[in-house]
Structure 1
Amino acid sequence: MDRNEAIQRVKELRKIIEQHNYYYYVKDNPQISDYEYDQLMQELIHIETEFPELLTPDSPTQRVGGAPLESFEKVEHSIPMLSLSNAFDEQDLRDFDRRVRQGLGVEGPIGYICELKIDGLAVSLRYENGRFVRGATRGDGRTGEDITQNLRTIRSLPLVLKKPLTIEVRGEAFMPRRAFERLNKERAMREELLFANPRNAAAGSLRQLDPKIAASRSLDIFLYSVVGEDTLPVDTHSGSLSMLEELGFKVNPERRVCEGIEEVISFIEGWTEKRGELPYDIDGMVVKVDRLAYQEELGYTAKSPRWAIAYKFPAEEAITILRDIEVTVGRTGAITPTAILDPVQLAGTTVQRASLHNEDIIREKGIMIGDHVVVKKAGDIIPEIVEVKVDKRTGDEQPYHMPTHCPACDSELVRLDEEVALRCINPQCPAQIREGIIHFVSRNAMNIDGVGEKVVTQLYEKGLVRSVADLYYLDREELLKLERMGEKSVDNMLNAIEASKNNSLERLLFGLGIRFVGEKAARLLAQHFGTMEALQNATEEEIVTVHEIGTKMAESIVKYFAKPEVVETIERLREAGVNMEYKGLRPEEVDADSPFAGKTVVLTGTLASVTRKEAQHMIEARGGKVSGSVSKRTDLVVAGEAAGSKLGKANELGIQVIDEKTFLEWIK
């Protein structure tokens, strides 16, 4: 293929791919299979790799996220992004309607358009000649932050419009509920703080300096207005929304033009009841005068338009009876109380349980068994008890006392280091063992595919595993006797377990679940000590010499390895053939002549043989430092397939660039 043919084919492929992105992410109506889509994408990547000068920021291949930023630049909005005044009940809506009609001198009903108020992050997008060039947050309304790179990762946002217009549009970026639940589940597995609700998760994702984080979060967007409506041949706001759809934007379909405020109120009442059916969060309804000429005539106050108002749904709450309080035991032995409730409908779902977090919450709220309690969903997601209806008490309510002994093993519970949480410190506690095994097999630990929470529970209940070491002694014939375990699934599971034996020491350390030792600390410890035996024999004084390891963690590590059951588990793992050594180079082993020693390296593009994280560890193990962006301080760039702007900048600055093949040769 010569250059002219490549130019033509790239144009064709981008148009085809973006059209299929539109059908899939905007219309939810895919026209081709995932395989066919992947083939098109791979062909485009191949051509852009062969002809890197053809790579542009609006190519579909660039949605994975560019280089991390050092900071967000400020953006001054051409027209301020004003907030809306609020309505909280029907009377507020009727007062708004009265003000509108008075301002226009109209006696009859006004035409309004009602749109769902998406609970997300308001953004402004600028297109020049039909191409997306900049996106910004609302900020203080006049000045926001440039988050263009993060917004490019949203698949439903068109990078090229269907017409070459220069316009500015505004919308709401959000995180669907399913994506939010998946994200929090992953964060829980990594023992990271959970997001309180999808809105916080969306805002946090779009304000990450590394666009790849935003790209991994499955964000979505609805557009709801054009700045300067006269740029489109329409005379109503509802018409402008239809025009946005024609341009390729995703516009919320659940909108209605209403004749008069009573129709508006009726529409809002319907959505107040059924908002829980949506796959995303809404916190109200936006009501706008539909005719653009009327909007212009009504104008603005200093803070908000006179022609629009935001009706805010009341926080959905329900009263039910607390029948009991159950406690569960986590991997670290922490005891968590959960309220058992009479079933009650809340935000579209049936709620029967609510987290009480810890004993102090129960005391602060004065909760008793049998109480009538007010329940709401925090962020419309997590059920919580808001208050106790003390006036409904009959005298039959019973105070609740936290157990003194573990519900799983009957060991005495203790409160460590003045913590709020009670803990079971019995190392043989079945609940802790089960949770510990689930952590051990997780992706960021030993990464054993096919052994999830349900499989671990089944293995434990059947007596096949009692520690993480037992996983490496499982018998194939015994596994085949289990429910829903056919020959293929059993063989896949055993192969995954066998493969995990080759993991480097840091994965094993993290998988063991030593208190306070996360992924990073596990890698630092593995690098420093080199072997499991060396770490087992280390003193607190020796451990705290490791960079970023403090006394609290060092004390926890020494106590952990002093336990007889831990010594036995590690010995059994060793006998099973599980690797006990760090596979990278330790600091003292780094060859001063290593091509990476003392160098700042940037990785760009897709590496076929190793993951980005693996490549980073390889470089760091050989004395190098990995950076996310190319600058004058960069010494070397490793360019994989579909390397983008970082490669171009490296060439401009005259920085040495190597391909994946050379990288792997240098690693050996």
Structure 2
Amino acid sequence: MTDAKENPTGPRSAEETQDRDPELRRQWNELAARVREHREAYYNGEPRIPDADFDALFRQLQELEEQHPELAVPDSPTMEVGAPAPEESSFANVEHLVRMLSLDNVFSDDELAQWLERTPAEAYLAELKIDGVSIDLVYENGELVRAATRGDGSVGEDITVNARAIESIPQKLTGDAPALLEVRGEVFIRPEDFSKINAKRPEDKKFANPRNTAAGGLRQKKVADVKARKLRFIAHGIGAREGIELESQYDAYAHLAELGLPVSEYTQRLTDPAQVRETVRYWGQHRHDAVHEMDGVVIKVDSLAQQRGLGATSRAPRWAIAYKYPPEEVTTTLEDIQVSVGRTGRATPYAVLKPVFVSGSTVSMATLHNQSEVKRKGVRIGDTVVIRKAGEIIPEVLGPVVEKRDGTEREFVFPRECPSCATVLAPQKEGDADWRCPNTRSCPAQLSARLEYLAGRGAFDIEALGEKAARELTEKQVLIDEGGLFTLTEDDLLKTVIFTKKDKASDQRVLNASGEKLLTNLREAKHTDLWRVLVALSIRHVGPTAARALAARYGSMRALIDAPVEHLAATDGVGSTIAESFKNWFATDWHAGIVDAWAEAGVTMEDDVSDRLEQTLEGITVVVTGTLEGFTRDEAKEAILARGGKASGSVSKKTDYVVVGENAGSKEQKARDLGLKILNEAEFETLLAGGQV
């Protein structure tokens, strides 16, 4: 949330301002009321608009006060911190020993440069801005005696009992604890924990996001419910203190760590403003690499003496600033809801949006998952909706902004028939949330999606067969299923537009460069690994990992087809669900016909053991983190898998090696904490060659 600047003109009464310009005062009153309403909702864990929308609203109020200084009265929202505890709160109020302040924000490199220029320092700290909930802890002689929410900065809610349920908040400090220590920090939920929590909840009771869930977790009435939220804590500041001498913020964090308090592993001490700006740019490109959600970087003057000299405004320190990245949540208009059909027949509603810029790109579509999700979220066509885009993930509609409805919105009606082939849609089995088109072979949407999938890098890697080409081959009925793919001829492609051009001399259509390339790609794609062929078949649940395991164990398509389901299930990494799906797929005649047609066309149906790399990593689990010079992330994973190893995305006690490149994050620290073997890139290459280092 955006914080404000102090009033440059001194206090004035609301009555005095109103007498001068009633219309101006009316405009200010309206803006101030909206800011207070949304800020209170945010700090109490029930935001109604995205942060970006609040930031814009707040800035509008700031700009109005800058243009008309007489409006910046002492009770303006631009002078306040946080929000008072709700009147219906069951928690007692408690006063902080030292007032908790907020932060001013900047949103561009130029604004950050201006702040650095007017705030020179020998050293700065760059800290990730955790998207969580602020908390204040008080320790007396090393014992936790109180925990409170931020509240309005002066008074918060006493949540000591709930704070004691958070494992990362120590009940007793280690080492030489001071007589008094007030610690500020952030409570949050890791994205991976949030996914696990939501997976256990009914569709109509899933949480919206980790930040809101953490805020609600601190206010639970039962300790067991607090623990169920998997809350974590990181310290990022000190308030009142007795019996402790510190010279810098960096020293403070080191001392907090010695006392057993968790501090951020990402904090950097920088001596050059250029380094500060570069760090901000780096995290803008890696904002999803951290163990917690973050929406910016906080820059602080390191020297505590200089911090005291710079002081603070009515609600924000002058020695710190928060650089906020482009929003991942924004509002826009939901112009329509349409339904797409994927390669497995799943009918998925998606939102057609008024184009909006979010998280670095313009989006015009977002997923709505299934018809139950549309109902749960309560969105209507014509609504103003909140959308979220995290990294490269497809944007998602979070919900409507109900207060903006004007009565013209209409309910979405899920279609009874497939929008591609008009077959009646139905759940595959009782209780399924997803509805599917059962016309698996002939549905144009499904065939087109399967063609695009099998052409991907994880399967046949056919560069010339993209989404548009797959759609045209299907629509023009050049292909009736995948079986005819590898016997496509020039005459077949001449029926298309995308693979042809008009020959000026003969006035006839001839193959263009894309058509020639497709035929070349198809000839080359026949000679591949068996596991890639298995992936290309679009067998439900059989992805690259299971395909590799099956191909490695059986070596040929014939051996796989003949294997009993219980034998397939016993394959490491497969199990009964995948094994049954595999056998059921081959029980369909036209599925088996695809394999026969590919085999007749010369597609690999048996691995050539002579070309197989030595399985130097068989039984070994490797995690790669950070940036390597000689490998992309996918190349490193492929190198591990090709040698029989397991390429894991998370560090655990079962991990054998952790390969660490530049800008490695929390995985490196966790590996060190667990005492695991850590390799640099050169050692990784040695491991690949010999299976040990």
TM-score normalised by length of structure 2: 0.46
The structure, 1 or 2, with the larger RCO (C-alpha pairs under 8 Å, 6+ apart) is: 1
